[in-house]
A = this chain, B = another copy of it.
Amino acid sequence: MGLKRLKASVYQANMELKESGLVLFTFGNVSGVDREGNLVVIKPSGVPYDELSPENMVCVSLETGKVIDSDLNPSSDTPTHLELYRAFKACGGIVHTHSEYAAACAQARIPIRCMGTTHADYFYGDIPVTRELKKAETEENYEKNTGLVIVEAFESLCPEEIPAVLVANHGPFVWGQDPRKAVYHAVIVEFLAKMEVHASQLNPQAPRPPEHLIDKHYFRKHGKDAYYGQKKK
């Protein structure tokens, strides 16, 4: 993918994030990666959404994190995004938000459990919460270490099957094949978090759905036997 096309795609995903209602003010950011060029494009830091353009998206090196071609600072969360792109090879786009319900789950330090088919249609298991960062990890290279604890949380999980995480006391990082898919997933994560709040009010002891139901819904939409939607031409 050319850099120009990547910037357009990252810009568009940032605007869709704004329209989705998941972000207040300048909160949140979306990035995308060019695996061949080893480049990451991300929203500039603290710039209001209505001042964004494809041109002011910031390009940094995936390897070094250095800004390639901009006078603007990239999002302060850039080192987190970079760690995720380095560890999760199939990930093409990443979103970070403080969306209301998902961030509340992160503050409550509870995973978004896989309690139904809406969840299993997109996430093959609970959306985990990271461990707390240690003092030294926070004080030096905080944003990079945030990326590393996310990667740690996926030691025994597959980031393609569960493309989201809650950073403890912070908020969700969500990813996908490309920046727009990542935003799509972030909207789903917020929706699932809302259902967790309501269902925990109604019946905190509700049983988990059987595994076969989760398998059915996940694999109805993913993998070689998927049969949801229209045949790709």
List the interface of chain A (C-beta within 8 A of B). Answer: 24-25, 27, 44-47, 72-73, 76, 98, 100-101, 103-110, 115-118, 132-133, 135, 138-139, 142, 168-171, 184, 187-188, 191, 194-203, 206-207, 209-210, 212-213, 215-216, 220, 227-231
Contacts and interface: CB of A to CB of B under 8 A. Distances in A.
How many copies of the polypeptide does the oligomer hold? Answer: 4
**Residue of A107, A110, A116, A229 with most chain B CB atoms under a 10 A cut-off:** A107
Given A116-B107, A195-B107, A229-B45, A169 B209 contact: yes
Contact of A139 (B47, B98, B196, B212): B212
7 contacts: A44-B230, A47-B230, A100-B194, A109-B206, A132-B210, A135-B212, A142-B220
Contacts of A44: 230
Contacts of A229: 45-46, 73
